[in-house]
Amino acid sequence: MGSYFYQFLEDISEELARTLNELEKAIYQSPRSMLTHSRTFIEVLLEKVMIHENMPNEPYLTIKTRIQNLDDKGLLNEEVKHAFHKVRKLGNVAAHDTRQFRFSESLTSWEHIHTIVKWFVEVYESYTIVVPDYVDPIMKQEHSYGLEEMALRFKKIEDLLKESLAHEKPKDVESVENELTAEDKTEEPKKRKGRLLLQEAFNEEPGFIPVRAIHYEDDSIDIPYFLRDAFLLPQRFEESERFLVRLGGEQQARIMSELPNSLEGFHLRVTRYTESHSETFFKELKEFVAEEIRRKKLMNSRPGELFLFYKSSEIVVTEDLGNVEISVKNFTGMPGLIEQLNEDGIDKVRDLPKELLILGKYRRVGKSRVESFFGQLGEVQGDLVKGLV
């Protein structure tokens, strides 16, 4: 069957084959996208059939109406009609519902697409083409540890391995073989701790291995691999925003890797700041790292999803929400922000930066305006889910 399931269709329709290839790739990478675009795929097939059958094919016809029209003509058997409706319904839900979609749902749609494609090819393309029996696509496992992260992972595990030597003892004589000495009893908690550390070393997801620690007095922050060169957006640090802007002007604290190992006395790198600013920045940095880890894990758990983040909240950008125009009609009370967004080519919700605090860079746009915009985005999403828009 070649490098993808429907490659054999390239000779009769490369567009059809390539579209199916993209849908197949998205099954595990982004179930939502797969379901949404499967709906578009079957709509095109329905139009092709209506053209073949010389039936009225007006652009305003819904997918449901097209299925019904073909069924009324006796062109669909029950299995194919059911398959069309299942793909349509799953696509409709994926286009507006904010919940996480499962692999099982994209696989269900993919199996129904096989039924539809087999019918379409045999009836409208060539009955001599043998469409292979359905098989579930294989999930491709990608090993995504970076080289430096892999080295740190091995070092951590090897250090624990070497530490375990301290617990090794020569074989004792039979008389004391089953007796636990006082020293043995004190060693047991250390062994349990070692096992926990070893378990942590193996269970770290790619990107989450700590590559360094940043200290302030007796406290510290572990910086994971994926944040080692993260941009420190000043707006993310509410109390330290001006401090970070000043530091950035001195080519300090623009990215994580520019920060020293200890933030004590960090304020001395710019004038007119005190130790309290260093302490406050450390506190906010700790919150920043925790929030970034939360976001990273959220995105890892929902592959292929698009999010808009504001502080510790987020909105899932469904296809319906992504297509909403950014206009004074849809978002009230902020014509200046809307105008500036449109000037920068941000015309629809899907064009927005995922970190909405960035919008604070625009003229006369304060944090309250950004917060109001985020709130209105949530309201629009809610209306879409309820089917009010």
User: Which residue type is seen at 258?
Assistant: E
pLDDT above 90: residue 341: yes
Which uninterrupted H or E stretch holds 214? Answer: strand 210-216
| Across 11-33, average pLDDT | 90
pLDDT confidence of 127, banded at 50, 70, 90?
A: confident
150-174 residue pLDDT tens: 777 667 666 766 676 666 566 554 4
Q: Is 85 left (phi over 0), alpha (psi -120 to 50) or beta?
A: alpha
Helix (H, G, I), strand (E, B) or coil at 61: coil
Residue 2: its pLDDT value, please? 56
pTM > 0.85: yes or no:
no
Q: pLDDT higher for 93 or 171?
A: 93
Give, as one character, the DSSP assignment of residue 231. Answer: B
CA distance 96 to 90: 11
Dist. CA 208–CA 200, nearest whole Å: 11
pLDDT band at 82 (very low <50, low <70, confident <90, very high): very high
- pLDDT tens per residue across span 222-280: 999 999 999 999 999 999 999 999 999 999 999 999 999 999 999 999 999 999 999 99
Share of the chain above pLDDT 90, in %: 68
Question: What's the confidence (pLDDT) of residue 206?
Answer: 77
107 or 11: which leads in pLDDT: 107
pLDDT value, residue 77: 96
Using DSSP, state whether 184 is helix, strand or coil: helix
Q: Domains of the chain, with CATH numbers?
A: 5-125 (1.20.120), 147-162+188-204 (no CATH), 207-302 (no CATH), 305-386 (1.10.150)
Separation of alpha carbons 4 and 321, rounded Å = 32
**Range from 26-40, 126-140, 368-382 carrying the lowest mean pLDDT:** 126-140
Q: Is 304 left (phi over 0), alpha (psi -120 to 50) or beta?
A: left
Strand intervals (E) in 208-323: 210-216, 219-224, 307-310, 313-316
Residue 42 pLDDT more than 80?
Answer: yes
Q: What is the structure's pLDDT at 327?
A: 97
Which pLDDT tens digit goes with each residue over 195-218?
Answer: 555 555 555 677 888 889 999 999
Q: Report pLDDT digits (tens) over 71-81.
A: 999 999 999 99
Average pLDDT over residues 347-353: 96
Summarize the confidence of residues 316-343 as an average pLDDT.
96
Mean pLDDT (the chain) is: 87
Q: At what angle do helices 31-52 and 103-120 cross, to 10 degrees?
A: 20
Mean pLDDT of 55-61: 90
107-116, 137-146, 305-314: least confident range: 137-146
Q: Do the bridges between strand 307-310 and strand 210-216 make them parallel or antiparallel, or are there none, so unpaired?
A: unpaired
Q: Can you give the pLDDT at residue 157? A: 62
Q: How confident is the model at residue 176 (pLDDT cuts 50, 70, 90)?
A: very low
What pLDDT is recorded for position 18?
A: 87
